[in-house]
Chain A
Amino acid sequence: MIPELGQFALTLALGFALVQSVLPMLGAARGNLLWMRSARATSLAQMAFSFVAFVALMRSFVVSDFTVLNVVENSHSLKPLLFKIAGTWGSHEGSLLLWVLILTVFGAGVSIFGTNISEGLRARTLSVQAWISVGFFSFMLFTSNPFERVFPPPPDGQDLNPLLQDVGLAMHPPLLYVGYVGFSIVFSFAVAALIEGRVDAAWARWVRPWTLAAWISLTAGIALGSWWAYYELGWGGWWFWDPVENVSFMPWLLGTALLHSAIVTEKRDAFKSWTILLAVLTFSMSLLGTFIVRSGLLTSVHAFAVDPERGLYILWLLGLSIGGSLLLFAWRAPALESGGLFRPISREAGLLVNNLLLASATGTVLFGTLYPLFVEALAGERLSVGPPFFNATFVPMMLPLVFAMAIGPFLSWKRADLAGVLQRLKFAAMLSGLVALVVWYLTEGGPVLAYLSIALAVWLFLATAMEWSGRVKLGEVTVREALRRAKNLPRAAHGMTLAHMGLAVAILGFVGSSAWKSEEIVFVTPGTEISIAGFDVVFEGIDRVTGPNYVANRGTLVVERNGIYVTTLYPERRQYPVAQYSTTESSIRSTLAGDLYASLTEAASAEAEAQGAWTLRILYEPLVNFIWIGAAMLVLGGGLSLSDRRLRVGAPRRTARPAATETPAE
């Protein structure tokens, strides 16, 4: 009964979405206030019914209702409750349901909180949002129904994969989806603005909090996925340039560009077409990701089931939404007034460079990811484009961006004094070079790119710190005065500082863990000693331990440094008898300096096994935790910006310009 209610709710939601697709848009064209305002009711109804459907599916998982096919395929009665709940969004159908739920929540949010934008723009935006809803609701109801039943119900479900029963992995999709769907709002705003034929500072200011919220969530989602891969998969990797990783990364890159481009539109009434295009493309990338993951187009570790029929449906959705919006862009964007005068050296120019570099990087990743498909279609040959390609092309493109990021906040709008800025940053530049040299001296060899990246990361960190201290006049006034100034700075300023510093920290983590990773792979018997990265590790032996649903062989590794005890590591090799599955649980000792990372597996060679030996892998990953810290700083920085009071106020009215000061304007 409940699953049928869920399906019915979905159908109702589709109905409301259909109404919302038409009525408000027509109302805006005709100036019919009633029709425009209908969007509030329909968006709330969509949200309510989506919620009912979602809860219905979740309930089926919680009670293990095996008459529902989705539950059979993705759950098991022995699963802990938390992961039964997470199973709701663990499948293709369930994740789509989560998608539309978030979509309708955001839509309702716009209708409720969007009181200070013009009726027409709001109505059009909600109509465009409804078009997206219609696409996803119909996709679900016609091809991917989460409420499909199976009779007679099997005695139990099929899935009990222990590796997926992990909190980090359970939260990774919802965070990503909030990101993807958040960008859909910005997309709707952009399309609505194109239809209206007008983009102005008010529009940009209105779009900002949604872009920020989506960006924050996407950052957190990607970081969480990487972190999970790092500690769970057992070999210290955190990014593999897998196609599905790439399609989550591209919206992030374009979303970052969008965040920055919107600033220019908001403050200087410029870059309008650019910002609109980025808004459309960012969500297009999210849709592209949906397509690639669910269509079986490319081979990937992450992909959901290979189903070309569903793929075709999504492709049509893509064609209509991306094709339609880009066509609208080609038609209407040239008419948008280009505003803004600025000199080649100015904040506008800096942000332009930022946008162009991010867009080029995105294009490179996109092209590399899809290239095997192009070659197969045109020449019938199978090619691989793997990490070596992306590392060779993406990384060098990002380095100039990091360099420019340090300078950007110092530049004033319209015209800036580059020589003056560089003069102020002389000290930071020298210190960065010095740090790189020290690192070069301490480490024995490493790629040149690694030292360059370290220098640039330190440069970015120092310059950002200097910019902030310049604003609060640290060193020039009393500490109390500086603190007072800091408190009075708009939160967005702190947000920017924290986020830019976060990226610098993360880059240090990227470089440290990649370039100077060390490892030892040996057969061990009790008493074997290994040296790695200055640590002395002794393998003491194996114990059998039992867990709630597993039996494990647990190794004991005593770690010392210079004779002083540091820690004991307990890597495990687990067998799950019910699921008939084994996992390798690594043991990690984390410090700021790096991670000592050990995992144990049965020896693959017959002689070694006969001697009672095991294969031990120990890695030392320097600075790897800087990655997660940096990501957290990015998220916090975004959050600070989002909480800025000014975002709740409407667009600035025309007031007298304050007198020009030496400190750059916001």
Chain B
Amino acid sequence: MNNQILFALAVMLTSATIALAVEPDEMLADPALEARAREVSQQLRCVVCQNQDIDSSNAGIARDMRVLVRERIVAGDSNSEVLDAMVVRYGNYVLLRPPFNTLTYALWVAPLALLLLAASIGITVIRQARRTHEQPDELTTEEENALRSVIDTQLPTESRQ
């Protein structure tokens, strides 16, 4: 059991302690293209690590994927085409930003649905609080007269203002 922990830690730590595992010789000469490569890489999951993007892992496969990403960008692929190329090889698992398809509608719709649910609960609660508020809290005429008679008979005169 301890070995598993150590292994997991080793993978995490050796990958991530070497900051942004991108090496200078991988980087593209054109800063704009390199920036795009970074953008794409941050959406790609390292398939042998625990929850890391390929930019942060120094696993061999991660490096190969980084190089492939840059090759495709230099070859003229758009960002989404590069991501598709990775999906062809590794499946949707490799996308850190889940795609928008039949399997993931629920995921992307959930935040909105939750907000709508919250809003409807909120409106209901406020309506209820308002309805209770609008109940008459003033005395009716008879109650007022009854109260006045009590005040007149039972309390000393000075306290009457």
Contacts and interface: CB of A to CB of B under 8 A. Distances in A.
Interface in B19-51: 19-20, 22-25, 27, 42-43, 45, 50-51
B129 A341 contact: yes
A290 B138 CA distance: 54
Interface stretch (A178-186, A361-369, A424-432): A361-369
Contact of A384 (B4, B5, B45, B126): B45
A319 interface: no
Nearest to A392: B97
Residue of A232, A233, A301, A368 with most chain B CB atoms under a 10 A cut-off: A301
Nearest to B43: A388
A375 B69 CA distance: 27
Contact of B115 (A338, A343, A397, A617): A397
A586 B19 contact: yes
Contacts of B4: 305-306
A654 interface: no
A584 B19 contact: yes
Contact of A386 (B8, B16, B97): B97
B2 A363 contact: no
A229 to B, nearest CB: 9
Contacts of B104: 371, 375, 383
A368 B98 CA distance: 10
Interface in B100-118: 103-104, 106-107, 110-111, 114-115, 117-118
B155 to A, nearest CB: 18
Given A343-B130, A356-B122, A381-B103, A521 B1 contact: no
B51 A386 contact: yes
Contact of B126 (A349, A586, A601): A349
A356 B121 contact: yes
A393 B111 contact: yes
Contacts of B42: 387-388
B89 interface: no
A449 to B, nearest CB: 15
A617 B20 contact: yes
B96 A388 contact: yes
A233 B13 CA distance: 7
A116 interface: no
Interface stretch (A155-163, A450-458, A550-558, A658-666): A155-163
A91 B93 CA distance: 30
A633 B2 CA distance: 38
B122 to A, nearest CB: 5
A342 interface: yes
Given A240-B51, A584-B19, A384 B96 contact: yes
A367 B106 CA distance: 9
A615 B106 CA distance: 44
Contacts of A608: 24-25
Given A385-B98, A605-B23, A360 B111 contact: yes
Interface residues of A, number: 77
A541 interface: no
B133 interface: yes
Given A364-B110, A388-B96, A608-B25, A617 B19 contact: yes
| Chain A binding surface, main DSSP class | mixed
A300 to B, nearest CB: 6
Contacts of B51: 240, 242-243, 299-301, 386
Contacts of A301: 8-9, 12, 50-52
Given A341-B133, A382-B93, A389-B98, A599 B19 contact: yes
A523 B9 CA distance: 28
A74 B2 contact: yes
B128 interface: yes
Contacts of A240: 51-52
Nearest to B107: A371
A139 interface: no
B134 to A, nearest CB: 9
B10 to A, nearest CB: 8
A521 B27 contact: yes
B114 A383 contact: no
B125 interface: yes
B17 A234 contact: yes
B25 A348 contact: no
Nearest to A619: B19
B97 A603 contact: no
A344 B9 CA distance: 51
B129 A342 contact: yes
Contacts of A637: none
B98 A233 contact: no
B78 to A, nearest CB: 17
A382 B23 contact: no
A344 B1 contact: no
B156 interface: no
A605 B129 contact: no
B98 A384 contact: yes
B161 interface: no
A340 B27 CA distance: 62
Nearest to A233: B16
A297 interface: no
A53 B138 CA distance: 65
B113 to A, nearest CB: 9
B87 to A, nearest CB: 11
B61 to A, nearest CB: 14
B116 to A, nearest CB: 9
B95 interface: yes
Interface string A236-277: 110010110000000000000000000000000010000000
Residue of A389, A605, A608 with most chain B CB atoms under a 10 A cut-off: A389
A342 B133 contact: yes
B103 A387 contact: no
A161 B6 contact: yes
A318 to B, nearest CB: 22
A474 interface: no
Contacts of B114: 359-360, 363-364, 367
A234 B19 contact: yes
A117 B20 CA distance: 55
A428 to B, nearest CB: 26
Interface in B68-95: 91-95
A353 interface: yes
Contacts of B110: 363-364, 367-368
B111 A397 contact: yes
B93 to A, nearest CB: 4
Interface in B44-66: 45, 50-53, 56, 58
Nearest to A597: B19
A357 B118 contact: yes
Contacts of A540: none
Contacts of A586: 19
A522 B6 contact: no
B140 interface: no
B18 interface: yes
A383 B98 contact: yes
28 contacts: A163-B9, A233-B16, A233-B17, A234-B16, A235-B20, A236-B19, A237-B56, A240-B51, A299-B50, A299-B51, A305-B1, A305-B4, A338-B128, A341-B130, A344-B126, A349-B126, A356-B118, A375-B103, A384-B92, A387-B53, A388-B42, A393-B111, A521-B27, A523-B25, A584-B18, A599-B19, A604-B23, A608-B25
Given A303-B8, A521-B23, 13 more contacts: A164-B9, A234-B19, A235-B19, A306-B4, A341-B130, A357-B118, A368-B107, A382-B91, A393-B111, A521-B24, A521-B27, A603-B24, A608-B25
